Structures are given as C-alpha cells and as structure tokens.
Amino acid sequence: MQHLQARSYRPKQAAELLGIGPATLWRWIKEREDFPKPKRLSPRCTVLDGAELIAWRDAQGQEVSK
C-alpha cells in the first residue's frame, strides 16, 4: 500500500483517484484552502503527490463523521 501512496499523479489520474472530474479537481485546487497543491515539473507537466491526496481524502471522511 505504501508503494501506491509514494507516487505522483497527473491531474486526470488524481481526479480518478478521488472519484471526481478534472474540472472539479481544478476548482478544488483553486477554492479549497486545505486541498493539496499541485507541483509544476515543467510548463506542460503538473503532478499532485499521492500521499497528500490520500491523506486529504481520508481526512474528509473523518470530518463528515464528526
């Protein structure tokens, strides 16, 4: 399981991981303060850290159950 969390995801893959569309992913990046920030590797390559995405996703479930 740790192996999957250590990888980086392109925006389309990150959206699939979270079960949302790419447009929603970009909106969350822009509007949600607590959402993991993407890293630009080059002008045409943006990635998001898998461990940060999974931690954020898991934290959302905990907030709903409080």
Residue ranges of domains in the chain, CATH in brackets: 2-65 (1.10.1660)
Q: What is the mean pLDDT of residues 50-62?
A: 91
Which amino acid, one-letter code, is at 46?
A: T
pTM for this entry = 0.81
CA distance 52 to 66: 21
* Whole-angstrom distance, CA of residue 8 vs CA of residue 50: 5
Residue 15 phi/psi, 5° resolution? -60, -40
d(CA 55, CA 9): 14
Q: What is the tens place of the pLDDT at every residue in 8-53? A: 999 999 999 999 999 999 999 999 999 999 999 999 999 999 999 9
Between residues 65 and 20, which one has the greater pLDDT?
20
DSSP 8-state symbol, 14: H
DSSP-derived 3-state class of residue 52 = helix
